[in-house]
Chains A and B, each alone.
Chain A
Amino acid sequence: MMRRHWEVIVVGAGPGGSTAAARLAEAGVEVLLVDKERFPREKPCSDIYGPFGARTYEELGVYERLLEAGYVYPRVILSSPDYTVLSGPNQKGLTCPRRIGDNILKENAARLGAEVWEECWVHDLVVEDGQVGGVRAKYQGEFMELRCKLVIGADGSHSWVAKRLGLFGDDYEQVYLAGRAYFKGCNPPLRDVEVHYDPGFTPGFVCLSPHPHYGDVVNMGVGIQMKKYVDSPLNAEEMTARFVAESPHGEKMRGAVQVSRWMGWRVPSAGQVGKNHAAGALLVGDAGSFVEPFILEGVASAVRSANYAARTALEALEDGDFSEESLARYAAKWEAKMLPQLKALQGLAVTAADPQALNAAFAALKDDPEAVARVFGA
């Protein structure tokens, strides 16, 4: 007989969900981590596990494994629409194919005691008197109702949990379309992470991230504001091709050969981050619009928000109170720690809509390398 009652159910086993589950399991909570996919699985992303997540990986005892599988890039290189270049050093951020890195994080959650169900499709929440009390799922071909005290929605950028809670944001000014493919033959070989705010797609960017341990493939991707994309004559793939052909920063990719198909995803930026708690439920990561596409902080933001969610869950479990008021502690936590930075980055996003302003911002930052380092978490 499959177990149907848990203290906490985490929906989605990406970095956010795995972190939340790992934290809770470590603290002795009976936690179920479910994901609709079977790991390891492909995940379209620029494959960057940013520096802001490093401390959590260390605390959860998984950073060493990520380091073995990944690559610590020495610098982040940025370029403005007029091709001015800035750079900042990196110590703790790493690149790792999400297929590999996410599996490491998920396995770590299991190692710490979380029950993990893969290929488990959650299609609805159990809501009674406005209080979330579980999920409805299909697992191993069977439809079932799973009960818990708290649901953590870590189900990504199309979050069904958020939608069901009425907390799903789809503001085309704050949502980005991103796409990526892998390429071989970058010349000279890529060693840094590069983000180019190309004049072709403001507000948007092309990102290059290196995988020296994986045959030196380069992850090349593009991100563009959805509102802009609506009127775009080019699709994401064509935009990247234009960057390669026309930008001086694209030159090193001109002889590169595509070795994977294009994959894309929807990035709900922190520009629309808002209420991420409800009676009996919390949202973390992309599901809660915690992403900051401009500095590639998707994974790290998910991990950070998962930390606050896990802490909130532990407090609520101790109090036995899962009401909306009780869970509002989550908002207090992430707003204090994450919001100032998210707001600052929003400034960058707004600036990025105007190439002239972005050029001016680069010109100012050029004389202040410490500011760059701060933004990129060095």
Chain B
Amino acid sequence: MKDASGAVLRASLRWERGGGGELRKAASPRIDTDRCISCGTCLGACPTGAVQEMQRQICRLCPDCAEGEIMFPRDMEALTRRSCSLACPLGHFPEGYLNLLARGDWEGAWKLISAVNPLPGVLGRICSRPCEEECKRGILIDRPMPIRAAKREVAEWARRSGMARPRRYPRHIDMRVAVAGGGPAGLTAACDLASLGYRVTVFEKGPAPGGMLRLAVPSFRLPDEVWEREYSLALGEGIEVVYGAAVGSSPTLDELFTGGYRAVILAMGAPAGKKLPIPGSDFQGVYDALTFMGAVKQGRPVRVGERVVVIGGGSVATDVARTAMRKGAAEATLVCIEDECSMPALSWELEEARREGVKVAAAHAPLRILSSWMQAEAVELAGVACVRCDDLGRIYPELEEGRGMTLPADTVIFAVGQGVDAAALRRMGLELDGAGRPKTTGPGGATSRNGVFAAGDLLGGQGSVVEAMASGRRAAAAADAFLQGKEWAPEERQVGSAPLEEKIFPVRLEKLEPLRLPSLSPDEALSSFREVDLSPGMEEVEADARRCMRCGYVEVDHRLCIGCGTCRDLCPAGDVIVMGPPQGLEPAGGEG
């Protein structure tokens, strides 16, 4: 968190009085664009928002510069409006830490990552990595930078080296804020508010924090000790957690407010497993994903048969199928109404599942579960012609004659989404929408009740951890603004198109083979719940980081710059920013 007041104070020291008595900037920053690594530090810290990220054009005119499609200049230009940092909902600037890693600066990389991310090892493993989809190396040259894997490697380095330490929070604001729910959204909101100086209490309904990390994410993707350790460091010594406390019933919202809490962040997630209302869904051997995953993760006995059918085509469905394979299933099949190209699971999740032998019956809808006296035996499926959406936004399949089939199944697991705890929300007296979720206004998740903000899976969405954490961050910022009586709107950041002389010709770059990320072989993977993804090793990560083309750099708008030098002071890349003679002498708001 930037300390804007401090920066402005120092800024005033660097202004000087001109001959006529007017205040003048004493100096202006100059940025060496060749060496800027676009880490976002100055951009986030600038008190006047004068720093902007620029994106270079990557030349892909000639077909021999790299494999892949050649582009027209207009398409090259269009790419300059996208960047990996713009894609990150949480505010990471991946180029920054990749380039520090490329020069072996692990501590610098850790500082950049931990400054915006309270759970680096978690996101280093299970982030949906929207940044990698935007990586121009992947779009234009060979494969995207393995940003997530690099983050994981840095988090592991920080653990080994002892750099990952419990967070310490200032307590200079004498106001209490309650956070309901200890999942990633709640944790991020709690950390942000505590960093600002609030006294934060997390109320967690269960006996431990973690939310879906604890209840649903399989340990072969995220070992429990990873999130448990990061939680304990993130909560540090400044955030209080009360277990077994379900906000809404005990304590109620009223009790919180009368008990001295000035704002409440609701981040209780969507903890209710769902089954489709088809005949047979209450037979023996039929589960919802959350019940199934919770039982496996907590070591409760759960019977997995020979043939498992998982109903659903999303990320949770692949997790469930892979878990079932580890619990002894000989065969696991995903059944989903979408065709293969439009399944909600991410492509690599499907790939990983397939590698472990999971089968997919796409474009099929379950009609009923067949049984021999209450024990599931098979699922009757109908072919799906296409998936439609009704007026309320609910999807339903349009069935197709003649593609029906019956899949033998002694275990059927529904992974068709999760519901919120509607009863608890109703008790809170909040206005709810048709799906039973709190109605909110604005990006901060303000609910119908003053001072109550909602975040995370409670609001629906894709269920990705990084999105949930980002929504917790927005709710925290909105709550802070509410408590300080300020207006708040999330920054609508855009990147600028760099001038043509900054254009990158890939042919000039070092030729490097993309790193192959190691993982357990399917046989090894299926024999245990060990983490499947393995560490590529520090040296390999450093070498691969050199593939980053450094599309981004920052530029200063001298009309907004007040010459305070904060950017220069904080730059982690050395003397990239130097203060020189003043430019754009009119201060902010002037005619510039």
Contact = CB atoms under 8 A, between A and B. Distances in A.
B63 A179 contact: yes
A44 interface: yes
Contacts of B501: 168, 170
B72 interface: yes
Contact of A232 (B72, B503, B505): B72
A230 B511 contact: no
A138 interface: yes
Nearest to B67: A261
A171 to B, nearest CB: 9
Contacts of A160: 508
Given A42-B64, A264-B62, A170 B73 contact: no
Contacts of A265: 62, 64
B300 interface: no
Interface in A107-124: 121, 123
Contacts of A311: none
A375 B115 CA distance: 65
B388 interface: no
Contacts of B74: 230
**Interface residues of B: mostly helix, strand, loop or mixed?**
loop
Interface string B58-100: 0101111100001011100000000000000000000000000
A351 to B, nearest CB: 25
Contacts of B500: 170
Interface residues of B, number: 18
Contacts of A170: 500-501, 503
A312 to B, nearest CB: 26
Interface in B231-253: none
B63 A263 contact: yes
B510 interface: yes
B70 A235 contact: yes
A121 B64 contact: no
Interface in B483-534: 500-501, 503, 505, 507-508, 510-511
Contact of A121 (B503, B505, B511): B511
Contacts of A42: 64
A268 B72 CA distance: 18
A36 B511 contact: yes
A221 to B, nearest CB: 12
Contacts of B73: 226, 229-230
A264 B506 CA distance: 14
Interface in A224-244: 226, 229-230, 232, 235-236
Contacts of A266: 59, 61-62, 505
B408 to A, nearest CB: 49
A261 B63 contact: yes
Interface in A260-310: 261-266
Contacts of A253: none
Contacts of B63: 179, 236, 261-264
A148 interface: no
B62 to A, nearest CB: 4
Contacts of B59: 266
A179 to B, nearest CB: 7
Contacts of B507: 158
A170 B501 CA distance: 7
Contacts of B64: 42, 44, 263-265
B61 A264 contact: yes
Contact of A230 (B72, B503, B505, B508): B72
A356 to B, nearest CB: 27
Interface in A148-183: 158, 160, 163, 168, 170, 177-179
A266 B508 CA distance: 13
Nearest to B63: A264
A233 to B, nearest CB: 9
B510 A121 contact: yes
6 contacts: A42-B64, A178-B62, A263-B62, A264-B64, A264-B70, A266-B59
**What 4 A-B pairs have minimum CB-CB distances, sorted nearest first?**
A264-B62, A263-B64, A158-B505, A264-B63
